A and B are shown apart, each in its own frame.
Chain A
Amino acid sequence: MSHDDKIDIRKLNIWFGENHVIRDVDLKIQANAVTAIMGPSGCGKSTMLRAFNRMNDVIKSSRTTGDIFIGEKNIYESNTNVYDLRRQVGMVFQKPNPLPKSIYENIAFGPKIHKMAKGKALDKIVEKSLSAAALWEEVKDRLNDSAFDLSGGQQQRLCIARALAVDPELILMDEPCSALDPAATAKIEQLIRTLSNDYTVVIVTHNMQQASRVSDYTVFLYLGKIIEQGETKAIFENPQHELTEQYITGEFG
């Protein structure tokens, strides 16, 4: 793996029961860049994303073969501590899912359980995380309010801040804007671009325009296989595979 690669996926296969969802995927994901995984419903993109922090493990019928290296570590080795892994690999979901706690406690929760900080050091993590998620200015005077008092877009940025608070190396986003209005979507997209200065971001999206706006690299997945991958500009201007062309021009999907 080169120094520029953050994730190295080798011969990844994932089954749910008899359903072979991911098929022989080899992929390298660039560090400090945004990689979008796109493809039609059921193509396995969320499953692939969830392989990066072993979230598929919680589904009893799932079976995974192959290797995924994050940095130098193969996360599918038997001695992997999945709790540490999930701290290292933050995740943001389709719908904002704040904890039923205050804004402050939502951010402080992760650092507390990982015993990363307390007192003023914890306050600093909260401020830093909310700032990084472009939310601090909007909530700094009401940190003790319930997270549910925030708008949908603010809640999603809160969830991103919560992921950042535990100092991850990688951030996974599964359709992070699908429940948001255009203004909130624009803010999240801007945030994703900013985050890529410091983090490796992998985003799953149905929205091709969003993939083309926010990502540096794009992976097109179809029926569990990678059909095409490359720089986003090239994929959206001159796709090399006919299936990619058909998908991004809306002929199917």
Chain B
Amino acid sequence: MKRLIDAGLEQLVSMLFRMGELAQKTVSLSIMNYIEGTHGHTQVKSLSETLSSMADPIEDTVFEIIARFQPVASDLRILKSYMKICYDFRRYGRYALDISQIYERIGGMGECDISFRKIIEDMGIETLNMVGASIQALKNHDAELAKTLSTMEKRVDELYCSYLDKLIETNTTTECTISSLLVVRYLERIADHATYIGESIVYLATGEKTTLR
């Protein structure tokens, strides 16, 4: 028999999954635009704003469920985790917008040396993989998949550090390196939020409070 709380939880799941799909689309569009040197700021901005506007109804629904049903155990862990994940999705959108703004303001990485471009491309693809894995793990409440984000995040961090090392080594300050320096920082932050989502999924699925970073 369905419990009264279940209708509220199902509504919440549906809202958060929609937000997750949109967050993935926004990040993907922004990163690929940057890598491929394509303009798409207006669309990314619109998606990012939509993501932002989706957060409040999710928070309201969580509070309504808490107030009406006093959830405990796995129900409570889901609510706590979904609140945090909702914030992480919002940040996905915000960093996607930041990347897009950098492209509009300073330009892309087209003029960068191939060695820089390779790092940025690898980092962009790895970050996108992390975003995809975080959303897939959420959909299935899959703690094992969520834990794999730890390894992926280490790879993004390594690429980030190698970018910085190369920048120092070559001592270049062109528009391209300034632009891409900011972008790799945003990618690194998106990867951090993907691991936060992973931690939330491990917690909601198992009750284990873990650090994946």
Q: Report A's interface with B, CB cutoff 8 A.
A: 208-209, 212, 236-239, 244-245, 248-251
Contact = CB atoms under 8 A, between A and B. Distances in A.
Contact of A251 (B3, B70, B76): B3
A237 B3 contact: no
Given A208-B72, A245-B73, A237 B5 contact: no
A163 to B, nearest CB: 29
A165 B27 CA distance: 68
Given A250-B3, A250-B5, A237 B77 contact: yes
13 contacts: A236-B76, A237-B72, A237-B77, A238-B73, A239-B73, A244-B73, A245-B74, A248-B73, A249-B3, A249-B71, A249-B72, A250-B3, A251-B3
Say whether chain A's binding surface is mostly helix, strand, loop, or mixed.
Answer: helix
A204 to B, nearest CB: 18
A208 B3 CA distance: 16
Contacts of A239: 73
A177 to B, nearest CB: 15
Contacts of B126: none
Of B72, B74, B77, most buried by chain A (CB within 10 Å of CB) is B72
Contacts, number: 30
A249 B70 contact: no
Contact of B207 (A208, A209, A238, A250): A238
B59 interface: no
A238 B75 CA distance: 10
A69 to B, nearest CB: 32
A107 to B, nearest CB: 35
A179 to B, nearest CB: 21
Contact of A238 (B3, B5, B70, B77): B77
A148 B132 CA distance: 67
A236 B207 CA distance: 11
Contacts of B73: 236-239, 244-245, 248-249
B169 to A, nearest CB: 48
B80 to A, nearest CB: 9
Contacts of A249: 3, 5, 71-75
A237 B74 CA distance: 7
Nearest to A237: B76
A250 B70 CA distance: 11
Contacts of A237: 72-73, 76-77, 207
Interface in B58-77: 70-77
